[in-house]
Structure formats: C-alpha cells, structure tokens
Amino acid sequence: MSIKVDFQLDAKGFSCPMPIVKTKKMMAELVDGQILEVLATDKGSKADLTAWAETVGHQYIGTVEEENVLKHYIRKCSNDMLDEKTFEHTIELEQVTKREGLILDAREEVEFAFGHIEGAKSIPMGELEARLSELDKEQEIYVICRTGKRSDLAAQRLSAHGFARVYNVLPGMTSWKGTLIKNI
C-alpha cells in the first residue's frame, strides 16, 4: 500500500553506516511533525534506525518489508517534549472505549497504520479543517494522538468550529495497553 509521507529517502543498496548517515542529513530538512520514509536494503538498518531515533529523540514509527526492501517511517520531533495542553475538556484513555462517541485519531496516517484503537477514525491534524464535514457535531468526539499534544490542538480547533462535545484524550497512544489494529 502507498502511504502519505512528507519526504522519502532512497538508501537502497547502501550498507551501514550510510542509511543512518543519509537519514540524519535528511531529517535536518524536515520540520517538526513531518514524516520521512526511508527505503533501505541493509537489514541492520532497522535496529540501528530505531536506536538512533531514540538517541536523538525522533519518533520511530515502524518498518515494513516489501520485496526485500525495508521501509522505515520516522517522524521528526525536536521539541515535542514541551507540552502545553490547554483544552479544558479531557477524558482518560481508559474511558474512551467504554463510551459511545467517536475516537478521532489526530496522528499522521502512517502512525495510525502502525497501530490504532479499534473503531478509531483517522484525520491527521493538518487535514482537520478541510475534513470537518466528515464529523458529526451531535456526537461526542474523543481526540487522541501519541502524547496528547496534537489532540489538544485538534480539540481546540474543533471547538472553535462549533463542536461542543469534544474531549482531549489523556494520556495518548503511548499509554494504550489494549489491542492495536494495524493496516500496514
């Protein structure tokens, strides 16, 4: 399947250390929150990219293998740690699956693909305003992301557009212990 990413890096045929060296260089071009897809044939690149991303604080989303090509997905995070959650209506993560409303996942498409809560609807933060018509103002909406930051913003925007029954889910997917649905 093809998945929406912001940048793609072709490191096929390169052996260690080049996939990581090139990824590091490329990541400098991205702005926070953007997604890079790295294509590599070096089998060791998976373990190394995962460890490297953790070291520098980027979010390693996942890897799929298609016809001997590894596709790695990384999201740039450099000051993701600062969280200023301001939306006042919040709901605890464990409550969302017990209620009737809609779980709205504000993460990027590829993050959603690598694991989300069953029944959740995916609308990445950046697409929210263009896709408001897909949402029902009468329904309760629980906005979730990875840590609660993007969902906070998304909830604020929904509220500004007249959605009255919106909640920010805290904490985010990083604390989800239940089943993860994958579609990649």
Contact set with another protein (CB under 8 A): 15-18, 20-21, 24, 43-44, 47-48, 51-52, 55
Q: How far is the CB of 73 from another protein (least distance, A)?
A: 17
Closest Cα partner for 63 from 41, 81, 78? 41
Q: Tokens standing for 149?
A: 């930051």
Between residues 49 and 154, which has the closer beta carbon with respect to another protein? 49
Residues facing 64 on adjacent strands: 71
Q: How far apart are CA 156 and CA 148, in angstroms?
A: 12
- What's the closest the beta carbon of residue 48 comes to another protein, in angstroms? 6
* Other CB atoms within 10 A of residue 104 CB: 26
Ordered alpha helix ranges (H), the chain: 18-27, 45-56, 93-96, 109-113, 149-160
CB of 5 to another protein, least distance (A): 21
| 53 touches 24 (CB < 8 A) | no
Active-site residues, by number, are 16
Distance CA(69)–CA(34), nearest Å, equals 22
Give 46 or 121: the residue with its C-beta nearer to another protein: 46
The least distance separating another protein from the CB of residue 43, rounded to whole angstroms, comes to 7
